[in-house]
Amino acid sequence: MIPFYQAKNEEFTLYNGDTRELIRNINKKVDMIFADPPYFLSKNMVACINGTWKSFEKGEWDRAASLGEINDFNKSWLSACRNVLKEDGTIFVTGTYHNIFSVATCMVELGYKILNIIVWQKSDAKPTFSRNYFNFTTEYIVWARKNNKVPHFFNCDLMEQLNGGTRMSDVWRIPFLSSWELKWGKHPTQKPLRLLYRIILAATHEGDIIFDPFAGSCTTGIAANLLNRKFIGIDQNIDYLSYGIRRKNEIEDAKTAESIRKKMSENPEEVMVMVNHCRKGLKEKMIETGICYLRAGDSKGSLCITPGFERMQYVLLHTAGEDSQLFKLKSKGHFQIWTKETLEKYGFEPSHAPYYIVLHFDNTKPVQIKKMPNLKEGANIFVARIRPLSDFIGIK
């Protein structure tokens, strides 16, 4: 089978055609499958919105069909996918109520074991056009493994860390597409890189092969390569595959790749870390007492609270960018305002302001830092700032 496109190191391979026919010719077993199949929403509908007529057509491939036709289609491609999936592999399939119940039923009939039904809630969803329904803000993701009795891989520890130390639930609040993801084109059902970022980290290792039978604009492949995984994709539309190739070419530049990697790891609801410089002796005293303090505003008495404070759940103490230690706060997003005199009662010697923000942390259980960003940023090294937890825990 001749690829439509293949990177020199075979980390990114695309085929053009009907996925049900081409899958059987893939000569490699894959570790994970992400599939965004037709939802069967297109019904030749148009509507006038704010004086402009808008079509809701996505393409012939998304044409509404009978329940029997939907079941036959889903069983066909899911069966073909199962043949290329490793024995301990897993598959994620997206959908709405229009197709997801059929997908789940076909999975069970084919021998897959359903692990979770994940609810993806779009935190920035647009209002539903019709006022006859509750606002549509969610899509569903069925996660299943190939075999009922063969164990699968799940990076539960990393998911907990990304979720602030608690088990991540099956309801994910992740924004929809951002403008930086549409630089090279547009696909009517394009998924955000942030969604694939979480899925790939949850269910694969570095070096694994990820397959997408409905590759579209190749979001799965871009996320896979940025996370050091290999990718195989199939789509019947050459224009969409060409769009995906343009996106692949963009991340060949190391600086651009790092920028996109950082953006896709960002989550507006991610747990945050207060990064605070303190002198060596003061740092030891803070760890001894489980108290971290920092100035609350300027000498005129203003109180400055940085956006993200409400999601703060960790504190990282360092001395001029060295000897960093990470601790979990006793209460997420919670702080107190203490006077200089109150801190002095705990053995501290504050001298820069009349009052301070005080954070209480668990000093008995330091949190392992899996990667350390550069904290030596000129004068900013001595300024307390909030950073996302993912900056310190790694993404492998």
Task: Please give the average per-residue pLDDT across 23-30, as a whole number.
Answer: 94
The tens digit of pLDDT for each residue in 33-91 reads: 999 999 877 666 655 556 665 555 666 656 567 889 899 999 999 999 999 999 999 99
Using CA atoms, how far residue 11 sits from 31, 45, 209, 227, 229, in Å, is 14, 40, 9, 11, 7
Do 337 and 358 contact (CB within 8 A), yes or no?
yes
CA distance 269 to 23: 38
Q: Distance between CA atoms of 291 and 274, rounded to whole angstroms?
A: 13
Q: pLDDT: is 87 or 374 the higher one?
A: 87
The region of weakest confidence among 41-45, 97-101, 110-114, 286-290 is 41-45
Share of the chain above pLDDT 90, in %: 65
Average predicted confidence (pLDDT) for the chain: 89
**Do 215 and 14 form a contact (C-beta atoms < 8 A)?**
yes
Length of the chain: 396
CB 32 within 8 A of CB 200: yes
Q: Is the dihedral of CA 88, 37, 221, 9 positive or negative?
A: positive
> CB neighbours of 324 closer than 8 A, spacing ≥ 6?
316, 317, 318, 369, 372, 375
Instruction: Give the SS3 label for residue 292.
Output: strand
Under 8 Å between Cβ of 185 and 134:
no
Whether the predicted pLDDT of 122 surpasses 60: yes
What is the amino acid identity at position 85?
L
Q: Are 129 and 47 in contact (CB under 8 A)?
A: yes
User: Comparing C-alpha atoms, which of 226, 167, 176 is closest to residue 200?
Assistant: 226
Using the predicted structure, report yes or no on whether residue 246 has a pLDDT greater than 60: yes
| 263 Cβ neighbours under 8 A, 6+ residues apart | 178, 180, 193
- Choose among 302, 331, 300, 328: nearest CA to 314: 328
Distance CA 31, CA 8 (A): 21
Within 8 A by CB and 6+ apart from 369, the residues are: 316, 324, 325, 326, 392, 393
| Residue 257, pLDDT above cutoff 70 | yes
The CB-side HSE value for 135 (13 A sphere, CA atoms) comes to 8
Q: Whose CA is closest to 215, among 194, 196, 229, 228?
A: 196
Per-residue pLDDT tens over the stretch 164-222: 778 999 999 999 988 999 999 988 889 999 999 999 999 999 999 999 999 999 999 99
Q: Among residues of the chain, what percentage have pLDDT more than 70?
A: 90
